[in-house]
Every structure is written in C-alpha cells, then in structure tokens.
Chains A and B, each alone.
Chain A
C-alpha cells in the first residue's frame, strides 16, 4: 500500500510540474503573438507564424499528457481504496 501511495504522490507531482510547463508555454506563445501584432522586427518573431502554432499544439499535447499522468495516479488511489474497503468493511459488519 505504501508503495502505491508513493507512486500516486509522485505522479501527482509530475502532473503539476507538467502543468507549470503548460502555463509557461501558453504565456510565452501569447507574448509572441502580441510581439508579432506590434510589428517587432526580430527574425524569430517574423518567422513565428510558421512555428508558433505547431509549438502551441505541443503545449496542448503536454496538457493532455498531464491529464494522463493524473489518471494513472487515480488508478493507484482506486486500488488503495479497494484494499482498504476489503479490510475494513468485513470488520465493520462483524462488530455492529
């Protein structure tokens, strides 16, 4: 049970780290969009229409991955819950 609990916690932390990256990603993407609208002259900004959209889709991919990671944590929590209920419910029924 302890190892399952540790696994679930580690996956929750990983999901939060991924969400941090996602937040950073869309903020940078938005900044590039505003820079492009302001007519900023750098080569990176000028070519951004070609690579910014694919990169932001990469950010969406990271967000979906964080959903997947949280779901693996939920899987472990359900396993823990089933184990606890299997132990506790028979005792409750015999004592009441």
Chain B
C-alpha cells in the first residue's frame, strides 16, 4: 500500500476502501458459528465426563479423569471466547461496510479506518490463547498417563498446568479487549469522517 493513500481524519488514519488488505471480518463471519457449536459441545462433553467421574469407584481412574477433564472444559470456554472475538471482528466489518455505504450515499470517496495496532494484535492473541488451551489439554492427558507409573512427574505437571490454562483464557480475554478497543477506534473515525464531510458541504 502506498503511503500517499493514507490520510488523517481526526485522530485516526484512513485509507481508501479498495486499498484494504486481507478481509478478516469476512473470515470471522464464516467461523463464529462453528466456534460456538464446538464450544458448547466440548463443555457439554466435560460436564458429562464430570458426572461419570462422580460414579467411578477406582481412585486412580478418578485422579486420571481429574487430570484431563479441566482441560476439556477450559478448551470449550476457549472456543466460546474465540467465537466472541470473531463476532467482534464481524461488528468491525459491519461498521466498515456501513460507513462505506453512508459515504457513497453522500457522494464522497469511501475511506476506511487504517487498521490500528489493536486491530493487528487481536487475531494473533486469540490464536495464541486457543493454542495454549489445546496444548494444556494434551499435557493433561500426559499427566493422567504418568499418574499410573510416575506420580512424582504427574504432581510436577499438576503444579503448572493449572496456571497454563488460566494463561490461555487470559490471552483470549486480551483478544476480546483489543477487539473492543478497535471498535472504539472505528466509532471515533466514523464520527470524525461525518464531521469532515459536513464541513466540506458547508464550505461548498
């Protein structure tokens, strides 16, 4: 993208609509539904496993399920928070498309917000959070396997696996907060653009 196409509107940077790169909202529109479905199914599986665990009689089996089932539940929550992040990206897409249609209706060149730093950071934060939770689930199974023959190693894993799960969820909440901050940028850009168009019409 040429630097000359970037203009400043209010406190935000804007680019022409046709200069936008990869369309993240279009991808998010397709992915939020599968994420909600996977999240609800994964959490339901975790709840059912919890009920089965309550009826187990062998203490080792109870401990083994206790090692990996929290990973399943956290992953389900992770899928749902990813769906929320995708929906926020969809909202950003709606704001962009709506702003474009308003500018075109006013006979103006369609400018969109140049993706701010928050907009660049929230997709990788979401992916890192989800990958952390998937890794934590895999480690939970390793811990459960070690309970049988190496309880010391299993206890060592148990010491850090819990914080790792919370780190994954924290990354997902970071992604949600960054996406919301991007929406704030978008709303501020739209207000400044409307004001600019009104000033241009008043001067003409």
Interface residues of A (CB under 8 A from B): 47-48, 50-51, 53-55, 57-58, 60-61, 64-65, 67-68, 71-72, 74-75, 78-79, 81-83, 85-87, 89-90, 93
Contact = CB atoms under 8 A, between A and B. Distances in A.
Contacts of A75: 87, 90-91, 94
Interface stretch (B69-77, B136-144, B150-158): B69-77
Determine the main DSSP class of B at the interface with A.
helix
Interface in B65-97: 66, 69, 73, 76-77, 80-81, 83-84, 87-88, 90-91, 94-95, 97
Nearest to A80: B98
Given A51-B51, A86-B105, A58 B44 contact: yes
Interface of B: 32, 36, 39-40, 43-44, 46-47, 49-51, 53-55, 62, 66, 69, 73, 76-77, 80-81, 83-84, 87-88, 90-91, 94-95, 97-99, 101-102, 104-107, 194, 198, 201
A54 B49 contact: yes
Determine the main DSSP class of A at the interface with B.
helix
A55 B48 CA distance: 9
Nearest to B49: A54
Contacts of A83: 98, 101
Tell which of A67, A78, A83, A90 has the most Cβ of chain B within 10 Å: A78
Nearest to B198: A93
In the A-B complex, list the 8 residue pairs whose CB atoms are closest, starting with the nearest.
A82-B98, A54-B50, A50-B54, A47-B54, A86-B105, A71-B87, A61-B43, A64-B80
